[in-house]
């Protein structure tokens, strides 16, 4: 039985853990060959590759700093040389450096903007020529509802995710005539390894802010990525789609 992403080649940046890992594995379950990038987590990245290969799909892990254009270009060349094409790029790599504006250092501002926003420019620019030759492709940028709402203590993160939205819409307009789509997924509060350390009082406050009453899972995000990667979403571009249980409604 054919799967929606049979014969697709996908790349997921920051795919060694959390939401990125869930996305990579879900894409493979839908039939895709998946390359992931990682900054320093070689062991976890290799574990993801092993899991994907156990599903009968090809996989590779590439150490790459998403904030550097030359490394993004090298990553794209590595995948294309090995597998001949790239159908889907998921720009997922990101960090937080939370602090109130008056206490935030210039370094914390620059790091978050460079890692979260410049990386999207780098990856999208690097893959664009390949997708133009194919006259097809889907770029999926993992944003956040914080880019829509703002949040005290996260001005750098909010700016990076809001900037991602503007960039994605511009990219979508520039490349639509070449058969290339670009969309943003804006998760709300998603349970991951990074959130498990939160105390119960904080978790209760978060739940109270979600109309559906519970945090989402990484699989909730991965399901939408698979849809936007596939031909089922072939007439959708330039959109921002929230996965947040109504949190930013």
**Which are the contacts of 89, defined by CB distance < 8 A and separation ≥ 6?**
10, 11, 13, 123, 124, 127, 137, 138, 139, 140
Phi-psi region of 141 (alpha: psi -120 to 50; beta: other; left: phi over 0): beta
Phi-psi region of 240 (alpha: psi -120 to 50; beta: other; left: phi over 0): beta
Give the CA count within 13 Å in the CB-facing half-sphere of 180: 27
Question: Catalytic residue among 38, 157, 189, 235, which?
Answer: 157
Answer yes or no: 157 catalytic: yes
Look up residue 118 and give its two tokens: 């410049």
Active site residues: 157
């Amino acid at each position: 039985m054919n799967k929606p992403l049979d014969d697709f080649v996908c790349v997921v940046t920051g795919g060694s853990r959390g939401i990125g890992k869930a996305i990579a594995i879900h894409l493979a379950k839908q039939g895709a060959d998946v390359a992931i990038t990682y900054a320093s987590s070689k062991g976890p990245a290799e574990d993801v590759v092993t899991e994907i290969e156990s599903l009968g799909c090809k996989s590779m892990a590439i150490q790459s700093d998403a904030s550097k254009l030359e490394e993004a270009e090298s990553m794209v060349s590595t995948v294309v040389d090995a597998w001949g094409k790239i159908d889907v790029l998921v720009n997922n790599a990101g960090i937080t450096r939370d602090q109130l504006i008056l206490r935030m250092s210039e370094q914390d501002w620059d790091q978050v903007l460079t890692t979260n926003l410049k990386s999207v420019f780098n990856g999208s620019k690097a893959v664009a020529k390949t997708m133009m030759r194919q006259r097809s492709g889907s770029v999926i940028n993992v944003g956040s509802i914080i880019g829509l709402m703002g949040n005290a203590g996260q001005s750098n993160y909010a700016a990076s995710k809001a900037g991602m939205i503007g960039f994605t819409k511009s990219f979508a307009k520039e490349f639509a005539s070449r058969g290339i789509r670009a969309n943003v997924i804006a998760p709300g509060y998603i349970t991951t390894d990074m959130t498990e350390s939160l105390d119960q009082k904080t978790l209760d406050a978060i739940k109270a802010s979600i109309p559906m009453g519970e945090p989402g899972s990484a699989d909730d995000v991965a399901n939408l990525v698979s849809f936007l990667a596939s031909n089922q979403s072939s007439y959708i571009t330039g959109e921002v789609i929230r996965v947040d249980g109504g949190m930013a409604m």
